[in-house]
Amino acid sequence: MTRPKLGAPVVVTALVLATFVLKMLVFAAASGAQGTPAPPPRFDEIVRADFFAGFRGDAARLERGMKLCEDELATNPTNADALVWHGAGLMFMAGQAGQRQDFATATERARRGRAEMDRADQIAPDSLSVMLVRAVTLSASAPNVRDRAQGRIMQESAVAGFERALAIQTPTLDRLSEHSRGELLAGLAEGWARLGDTERSRGYLERIVKEMPDTRYQARARAWLEDGPQAGPMTCLTCHRQ
């Protein structure tokens, strides 16, 4: 059977998106500096544990997370957090459909998921919780898009989201955890490298070397400066310790 070309929509494999689950967790929580009193729970803080469990294979938790978003959107259709998480869930489910060779379902879910995440970004362009979930999902998806032009567009959008997040968090960046700072700067270095902008990528690599001494991020950044991407991934260096 010949696999149909999916065109603009992207099918995200469940494995790839699951790899980014813990990265999402750190990024989504990065809106406040360490030591800052916790604000009342946001909607994303209510649903994300279900989504993380779902992305790790718990179908019941994923269904519950999706249902919570759908119930919220039924009464508040402009809740950006509900939209972005529901969209990420649809992207994950598109990957599952693709693995089953159900490409029509995969294409439709991916189209809807991307549209929901884009709408969330339009509603709340300055929300860290929205921009980072969307950026991480797009960055995870982009390398797997069969249409290279669309993959590049998605990677560019992901990098733009990370750049916006960095600009917002710059005043408190030094008070964020090593992981939060490292993943954000490394994501930018990796993203710009994927886009072929070696100068910008190098700038972030050099920044990591200077600002994150004695960390895995510094060691990997030095390796990238010497050997390039073949030195290994820049991101998720502390997400998945065995």
pLDDT of residue 18: 42
CA distance 231 to 239: 18
pLDDT of residue 145: 77
Residues in the chain: 242
Decide if 142 contacts 16 (C-beta within 8 A): no
pLDDT of residue 35: 55
pLDDT of residue 116: 98
Instruction: Catalogue all structural domains in the chain, each as residue range(s) with its CATH number.
Output: 14-170 (1.25.40), 177-242 (no CATH)
pLDDT of residue 234: 80
pLDDT of residue 36: 58
pLDDT of residue 3: 42
pLDDT of residue 20: 52
SS3 assignment, position 242: coil
Give me the average pLDDT of each 10-residue run along the chain (242 residues).
41 45 46 56 88 90 97 97 96 87 90 96 94 89 83 94 94 88 91 95 96 94 91 67 38
Q: What is the DSSP string of 130-179?
A: HHHHHHHHHHHHGGG-SSHHHHHHHHHHHHHHHHHHHHHHGGGGGGS-HH
SS3 assignment, position 54: helix
The Cα-based distances of 45 to 111, 137, 197 in angstroms read 25, 17, 35
3-state percent breakdown (helix, strand, coil) of the chain, nearest 5: 75, 0, 25
- Those residues with Cβ within 8 angstroms of residue 75's Cβ, 6 or more apart along the chain or in another chain: none
pLDDT of residue 232: 78
pLDDT of residue 239: 54
CA distance 49 to 147: 32
The Cα-based distances of 19 to 15, 39, 95, 102, 228 in angstroms read 6, 28, 13, 22, 22
pLDDT of residue 39: 67
pLDDT of residue 240: 43
